[in-house]
């Protein structure tokens, strides 16, 4: 099914909430999109509407919804069809609170309906190989396999979040599970060869949350044709600073700087919140990452 991508839809233009694909694309970039756009679809509109949800109503994500979300997650592509991820669904309030505390305290973990912990999982496949072929697995420890399991977990997680959003739910990824992955592993009883990659807090969005669709970099910064343009970021990032600062100003946060945020996150090892020790933590779960 397609949806209109016309800039001329005046009824939508008078509304603060974008309705057409074109308006959704404009909002995604925080400015009118210059290039030609193909006809939109409901799927693309849903993707364009994405925002992280960190404030939830005290309402349940049902087991039936969860099972549909996981079916969507499992429908994602899988490297060599290895299916090297598992997900632990945490609903127990005390357990959510313990996990939150271990990660430094996050209300969105405590208040979500279900906290999904996506794990890289070579345990299942290793045991199958050992049981069926009687051989020890040799290659799990290589970095390539660590990357495979992390990439596939991310693909599955994004499919899950999009599925949840299509059901009227919302959520936020929680990379902080890697701030303290061994405590998360203990809490969830993760065996050898299973490592927490990312959390996903899901619930019914609280409409009072003050957030909207966060603008992204101008497309020319990320889309290169034929060859990588190493200068493309310069004017694009300057423009982006303005769009993102406007977005945050709308929510009362003045003088926001993306470059400042980048510096805080990648400018020094402190910005990694302890995750510079990830090789050691991976090894503790069997991922030697050689």
Ligand X SMILES: Cc1cc2nc3c(=O)[nH]c(=O)nc-3n(C[C@H](O)[C@H](O)[C@H](O)COP(=O)(O)O)c2cc1C
Q: Write out the residues near ligand X by the rule CB under 6 A.
A: 50-52, 54, 172-176, 198, 214
Query: What tokens appear for 277 in the block?
Result: 């020790």
Nearest distance from C-beta of residue 116 to ligand X, angstroms:
13
What is the phi-psi region of residue 170: left when phi exceeds 0, alpha when psi lies from -120 to 50, beta otherwise?
Answer: beta
97 beta partners: none
Measured from the CB of residue 98, what is the shortest distance to ligand X in angstroms?
17
Nearer to ligand X, 192 or 209 (CB): 209
Complex with ligand X: residue 104 or 267, whichever CB lies closer? 104
- Side by side, the strands of the sheet bearing 114-121 are 85-90, 114-121, 194-203, 170-174
**CA dist., res. 165 & res. 289, Å (int):** 34
Tell the smallest beta-carbon distance from residue 141 to ligand X (Å): 24
Whichever of 105 and 290 has its CB closer to ligand X, that residue is: 105
To the nearest whole angstrom, how small is the minimum distance from the Cβ of residue 52 to ligand X? 4
* CA max distance for the chain: 68
Nearest residue to ligand X on Cβ basis: 175
Identify which of residues 84 and 198 has a Cβ nearer to ligand X in the complex.
198
To ligand X, the closest distance from the beta carbon of 46 in angstroms equals 13
Nearest 5°: CA angle at 235, between 231 and 241? 125
CA 282 to chain centre: 20
Beta bridge partners of 90: 115
CB nearer to ligand X: pick between 176 and 180: 176
Query: Which two tokens mark 25?
Result: 């694309």
């Amino acid at each position: 099914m397609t949806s209109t991508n016309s800039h001329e839809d005046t009824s939508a233009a008078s509304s603060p909430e974008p309705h057409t694909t074109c308006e959704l694309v404009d909002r995604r970039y925080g400015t009118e999109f210059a290039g030609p756009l193909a006809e939109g679809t409901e799927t693309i509109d849903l993707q364009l509407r994405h925002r992280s949800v960190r404030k939830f109503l005290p309402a349940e994500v049902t087991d039936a919804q969860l099972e549909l979300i996981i079916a969507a997650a499992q429908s994602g592509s899988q490297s060599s069809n290895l299916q090297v991820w598992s997900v632990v669904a945490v609903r127990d309030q005390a357990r959510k609170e313990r996990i939150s505390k271990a990660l430094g305290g996050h209300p969105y973990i405590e208040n979500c309906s279900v906290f999904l912990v996506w794990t890289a999982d070579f345990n299942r496949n290793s045991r199958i190989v050992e049981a069926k072929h009687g051989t020890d697995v040799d290659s799990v420890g290589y970095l390539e396999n660590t990357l495979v399991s992390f990439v596939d977990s991310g693909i599955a997680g994004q499919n899950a979040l999009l599925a949840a959003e299509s059901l009227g739910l919302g959520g936020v990824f929680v990379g902080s599970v890697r701030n303290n992955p061994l405590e998360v592993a203990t809490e969830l009883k993760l065996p050898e060869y299973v490592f927490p990659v990312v959390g996903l807090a899901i619930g019914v969005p609280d409409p009072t949350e003050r957030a909207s669709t966060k603008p992204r970099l101008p497309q020319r910064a990320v889309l290169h044709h034929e060859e990588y343009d190493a200068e493309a970021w310069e004017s694009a990032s300057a423009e982006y600073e303005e769009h993102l600062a406007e977005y945050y100003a709308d929510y009362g946060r003045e003088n926001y700087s993306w470059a400042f945020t980048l510096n805080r996150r990648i400018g020094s090892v402190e910005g990694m919140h302890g995750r510079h020790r990830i090789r050691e933590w991976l090894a503790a779960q069997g991922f030697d990452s050689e």
